[in-house]
Amino acid sequence: MPRVTCRALTHFHTGVDRSADRPVDRITGQAATCAFAVPEFVISVGLLLVLSLWTGRLPAVTLTGADGDPATWTMLIMPVLALVIPQTGWNTCIVRGALADQAAIPHVEAAHFDGLPIRPPARPSPLSPSAPTSPRLPSSLAPHPRR
C-alpha cells in the first residue's frame, strides 16, 4: 500500500510538490498527517485513556440532566477534541501546501531576493528609521493649505 503523507496530498490537490527543507516544516507535516490519518474513534479512546483514566482530569461519561443538557461543561471537552483533532490535521496540510505554492510565485521570490525578509519583525524597533515618530497623514491624504 502506498504511503500517504501531507506532502503527497498537497501535491495531489495543488499539482505542485513543494517539499519543505526546514525541520519545523517536516515535523508539522508529519504531525498533521498523523492527526488526520487516525480515525475519530481511535482518538476518542486515546483521549479517554489519558484524560479520564490516567490523569482523572475529565469525566469518562457524559451525564445529562432532566432537560437533556450535560451536567457540567467539562463533559463536552473530550467529544469536541475527538472531532477537532483530525480536522485540524487536514486543515494544516492544506494551508501549508497553499502557503508553499504562494511562496514560490515569481513576485514573492523577487521580493525575497531584493532583501525583503521572510518573517518581518513583530514590532518595529523604535530606533529604526521606518518607525513612525508622530502620527501624520501621508502627503496624498493631508489637507491642502489654503492660499
Q: 122 pLDDT exceeds 90?
A: no
Q: How much of the chain exceeds pLDDT 90, in percent?
A: 5
**pLDDT, mean of residues 138-143:** 56
Burial of 8 by CB count in 10 Å (0-12 exposed, 13-18 middle, 19+ buried)? Answer: middle
Higher pLDDT pick, 6 / 109: 109
Mean pLDDT of the chain: 75
Would you state the pLDDT for residue 126?
Answer: 64
Higher pLDDT pick, 112 / 1: 112
Residues 10-56: tens digit of each pLDDT:
444 444 444 455 788 788 888 888 888 888 889 889 999 998 989 98
Residue bearing cell 503523507 = 5
Distance between CA atoms of residues 59 and 77, nearest Å = 9
